[in-house]
Amino acid sequence: MRTNCKASLFVAIFLCLTASVAFAQHSAKGKAAEDATTALLQMHSSYQQASATQKQQLLTQFTAMAAQREQLLLSLMQSNPGDVLRVAIPNNVSHTMPPTVKQHVEQSVTAQGVLEVLYEMQGTPDKTTGAVMHHFLNSSNGRLGLHFAASAPTHLLTGSVVKIHGVQVNSELALASGANNNTNTSLQTVTAASAPATSGAVNTLVMMVNFQDNPSAQPWTAAAVQNMVFTQTSNWDMENSFQHTWLTGDVAGWFTVPVASTNCDTASIKSDALAAAQSAGYNVSSYSHYIYLMSSNTGCSAWWGLATIGGGDVWVNGQYNIAVHVFAHEMGHNFGLYHAHTVDCGMQVMCSSGTLSEYGDGFDTMGASSYSSPHYDAFHKEQLGWLNGGGGQPPITTVTSSGIYQLSPTEVQDSNPKALKILQSGTTNTYYYVELRQAQGFDSFLSNYSDVVSGVVFHSASPSNANSSDLLDITPSSPASFSHPALVAGQSYTDANTGITITPVSVSSSGATVQVTLGSGTCTLANPTMTVSPAQSQWVLAGAPVNFAVSVRDNDSPACAQSTFNLTDSLPSGWSGVWNATALTLNPGTTGQATLTVTSPTGTADGFYNVGIAATNASSPSYGNSVTATYVISTPVPASVAVSTNQPSYTGGQTVAISVSVTSGGNPVSGAAVNVTVVKPNGSSSNLSGTTSTNGVASMSYRLNRKATKGMYQAAANANSASASTTFMVQ
Ligand SMILES: [Zn+2]
């Protein structure tokens, strides 16, 4: 939670997430993981070819290497989940490792379960750091932490049932993408959770919780908490929702939970508090929202509040006191809201690659609003149905033609239009939200912001993306000043891309008159968006061709003509890259695809190789973009294979015992994956598979049908790129 210093609403320290697109670079840890993977596979190869005595000696070292690499992957999960995917050892390879090693090696998994989305407000009333969003899957495999290499999902609420595919290390799981589209194979929605109720009485149980090492800590009385939540915060909801939503419920506790005050185990704190409340006579299932109000938890000192997006759980760390702001903010997350951002675009109002401040919007309680508790912005109120809700709530006026429009102040409890919604980009479904804010009610702090109360405030947001609310500095300066964002009466703002001009003609405490002139816009070129699939190839032998599907999206403004993007690749020396199309000609807002086939020279060493792919605007080469994929070469242990059956001939109903022996330099190869194809006299075939044991032999059974076709059968075995075959008769 971003908060203020004493004098100013805005503090200068931001934890910034850069939205700019750059060349995909692998982190230093990513490189270390690559090296650790290569080393582990070399050890695997040595182990497979070792004698029985040598195997015993090597196993300790092999296991230690795997355990060390596991810790590296776990730390990468948090910072660079894409690097975990990049170096993930395929299941068919890890399957051939000894069990003590395999337990430390990641698994590629598919799982279904219930999604939990948590927002942790990092920071305290005196110090701001940032926000961390956590995703968990509660499945039959336990509670798995989800880490998205790209696009954490913003379209799903807590409680949704999803099917995921990713790479699991311990209880952490890396996924390629959380994007909401039909081609996403790493996160699929089975059942979306229904939207939380945001009208009428919101029935809430507040549980005051202290900890076993300090059971006498009771910093607030039940009456004080009752007043803070069910009077002050409820009044805040009433004013924000135009009298449509309020809080009801009970304050329970204090309860002492069997958790130390230094242990930020929020799942146990939740379950222990609920159990204590139930024992104390509260029917906990009769509430829809639960607030775990902790006396003070120094283990959770990174945050003041924690909440599920959707769902109904809120944790408040009493180390930092209690305030309307913290309850209104966290319950906003329960209602489905994300944070209120700013994006610093220098001298531009909007841009595709500015510097994002997660809580940059100090005029929305979902942003950096600290001790004051401002209204939610119009976009957030629209999401909750508090504006445009159809139940007597005030409307938002969607502007589709030039004209003069009226705005009523956000804070005034009437049914007049509270915002103008003007389409800024049809391709991203982004709108300007223009509203009038006055120093009244919970917004009375605005008396310190003279430009805001004498003008109109702009946000951009997309109804397609819940996490898209950006406060705009509509008269930009460099650096941007988001504490003076408004367009004051008499000034005009023109969007060059769309040609829209917006002028607040008059502004007072009772309303604003705004002139909107729609135009035709001018062409503004932009860098295209690029993706590549797969981001990392299967593990292949040197010399194998691998196809990479590349997509390019033209982000030029709608007034632009078609652009042609030249496609180029950057490969290791001597490699071949063949495109099925070397250029894509696209209309603004559309996406095109091409395929690059990459082939490494035979004899290339095992490893992870970068495939650089770029798209450049042919007529304006300063506009372009690039992505990097990975081509993985992995050679199995060089081996020779022998295959035999236990008899030369059989009759129907008998079982054929097939042995496949794999050796390398005379030593048995253990843990080699073996495939056997049995071909009948009529040409039809069956496949068997197995793994060699420490003696280098894989044993398989082929059961003959009672009426098995008579004649000569062939059994062809394949392991580590070597093959052999034998025949047997059925009489
Ligand atoms: Zn938050």
Average pLDDT over residues 563-572: 97
Residue 624: count of CB within 10 angstroms of its CB: 18
Interval between CA 337 and ligand 1 midpoint (Å): 9
| pLDDT value at residue 694 | 83
Give the lowest-confidence range in 79-88, 512-521, 630-639. 630-639
Please give the single-letter amino acid code of residue 46: S
Distance of CA 537 to the CA centre of its chain: 22
Q: Among all chains, which residue has been given the structure tokens 């929202």?
A: 289
CA contacts within 13 A on the Cβ side of 129: 11
pLDDT at 30 over 90: no
Residues, beta carbon < 5 Å, ion ligand 1: 119, 121
Give the pLDDT confidence of 693-711 residue by residue, as tens digits: 888 899 999 999 999 999 9
Give the pLDDT confidence of 640-685 residue by residue, as tens digits: 999 999 999 999 999 999 999 998 877 788 888 899 999 999 999 9
Average of per-residue pLDDT values in the chain? 90
Contact 500, 350 (CB under 8 A): no
Interval between CA 230 and ligand 1 midpoint (Å): 20
Query: Which residue would you say has higher pLDDT here, 12 or 171?
Result: 171
What whole-number distance in Å separates Cα of residue 715 and Cα of residue 707? 19
Q: What percent of the chain has pLDDT over 70?
A: 94
pLDDT band, very low/low/confident/very high, at 24 (cuts 50, 70, 90): very low
Contacts of 249 (CB under 8 A, 6+ apart): 202, 203, 204, 205, 206, 229, 230, 287, 289
Token pair listed for 51: 């004698």
| pLDDT value at residue 150 | 87
Q: Among all chains, which residue has been given the structure tokens 């398989």?
A: 700
Interval between CA 517 and ligand 1 midpoint (Å): 36
Interval between CA 356 and ligand 1 midpoint (Å): 15
Interval between CA 240 and ligand 1 midpoint (Å): 18
pLDDT at 46 over 50: yes
Contact 458, 484 (CB under 8 A): no
Interval between CA 333 and ligand 1 midpoint (Å): 7
Interval between CA 548 and ligand 1 midpoint (Å): 39
| pLDDT value at residue 123 | 59
Nearest to 502 by CA among 389, 347, 397, 428: 397
Interval between CA 322 and ligand 1 midpoint (Å): 15
pLDDT at 8 over 50: no
Interval between CA 338 and ligand 1 midpoint (Å): 7
Interval between CA 316 and ligand 1 midpoint (Å): 11
Q: Rounded to 5, what percent of the chain is helix, strand, coil? A: 20, 40, 40
What whole-number distance in Å separates Cα of residue 316 and Cα of residue 330? 9
| pLDDT value at residue 122 | 64
DSSP state of 227: I
Alpha helix ranges (H) inside 50-80: 52-79
Interval between CA 380 and ligand 1 midpoint (Å): 13
Residue 517 to residues 19, 471, 502, Cα–Cα distance (Å): 31, 22, 7
Give the pLDDT confidence of 389-408 residue by residue, as tens digits: 888 899 999 999 999 999 99
Reported pTM:
0.82
Contact 313, 292 (CB under 8 A): yes
Token pair listed for 699: 């044993």
Contacts of 404 (CB under 8 A, 6+ apart): 505, 513, 514, 515, 516
Interval between CA 465 and ligand 1 midpoint (Å): 16
What whole-number distance in Å separates Cα of residue 656 and Cα of residue 679? 13
Interval between CA 131 and ligand 1 midpoint (Å): 7
Contact 570, 614 (CB under 8 A): yes
pLDDT band, very low/low/confident/very high, at 11 (cuts 50, 70, 90): very low
φ, ψ (nearest 5 deg) of residue 93:
-85, -50
Q: Among all chains, which residue has been given the structure tokens 């994002």?
A: 356
Helix (H) or strand (E) holding 32, with range, is helix 28-49
Q: Any idea what the Cα angle at residue 711 is, between residues 705 and 714, rounded to 5°?
A: 85
Give the lowest-confidence range in 142-146, 181-185, 275-279. 181-185
Token pair listed for 534: 């797969």
Average pLDDT over residues 268-295: 97
Interval between CA 366 and ligand 1 midpoint (Å): 6
3-state SS assignment for residue 489 = coil
Query: Which residue would you say has higher pLDDT here, 720 or 553?
Result: 553
Dihedral of CA 32/34/40/46: which sign? Answer: negative
Interval between CA 120 and ligand 1 midpoint (Å): 6
3-state SS assignment for residue 241 = coil
Interval between CA 363 and ligand 1 midpoint (Å): 14
Interval between CA 119 and ligand 1 midpoint (Å): 6
Interval between CA 339 and ligand 1 midpoint (Å): 6
What whole-number distance in Å separates Cα of residue 725 and Cα of residue 451? 85
Interval between CA 254 and ligand 1 midpoint (Å): 25
Residue 273: count of CB within 10 angstroms of its CB: 26
3-state SS assignment for residue 724 = strand
Interval between CA 453 and ligand 1 midpoint (Å): 26
Token pair listed for 701: 């059974």
Give the lowest-confidence range in 68-77, 125-134, 290-299. 125-134
Interval between CA 288 and ligand 1 midpoint (Å): 19
Give the pLDDT confidence of 98-140 residue by residue, as tens digits: 899 999 999 999 999 999 998 876 655 555 556 678 899 999 8
Interval between CA 468 and ligand 1 midpoint (Å): 14
Helix (H) or strand (E) holding 450, with range, is helix 450-453
pLDDT at 170 over 80: yes
What whole-number distance in Å separates Cα of residue 502 and Cα of residue 491? 9
Give the pLDDT confidence of 218-228 residue by residue, as tens digits: 999 999 999 99
Interval between CA 32 and ligand 1 midpoint (Å): 34
Average pLDDT over residues 372-376: 93
Relative to beta strand 200-211, strand 245-257 is: parallel
Interval between CA 362 and ligand 1 midpoint (Å): 13
Interval between CA 23 and ligand 1 midpoint (Å): 30
pLDDT at 203 over 80: yes
Interval between CA 130 and ligand 1 midpoint (Å): 10
Relative to beta strand 430-435, strand 455-461 is: antiparallel
What whole-number distance in Å separates Cα of residue 672 and Cα of residue 695? 11
Interval between CA 204 and ligand 1 midpoint (Å): 19
DSSP state of 608: E
Interval between CA 33 and ligand 1 midpoint (Å): 33
Q: How many residues does the chain have?
A: 731
DSSP per residue over 618-675, as a string?
SS-TTSEEEEEEEEEE-PPPP-EEEEEES-SEE-TT-EEEEEEEEEETTEE-TT-EEE
Distance of CA 643 to the CA centre of its chain: 48
Interval between CA 239 and ligand 1 midpoint (Å): 20
Give the pLDDT confidence of 590-629 residue by residue, as tens digits: 999 999 999 999 999 999 999 999 999 999 999 999 999 9
Contact 415, 386 (CB under 8 A): no
Nearest to 446 by CA among 438, 454, 435: 438
Nearest to 291 by CA among 269, 264, 261: 269
Interval between CA 704 and ligand 1 midpoint (Å): 65
Interval between CA 471 and ligand 1 midpoint (Å): 16
Interval between CA 274 and ligand 1 midpoint (Å): 23
Helix (H) or strand (E) holding 698, with range, is strand 697-703
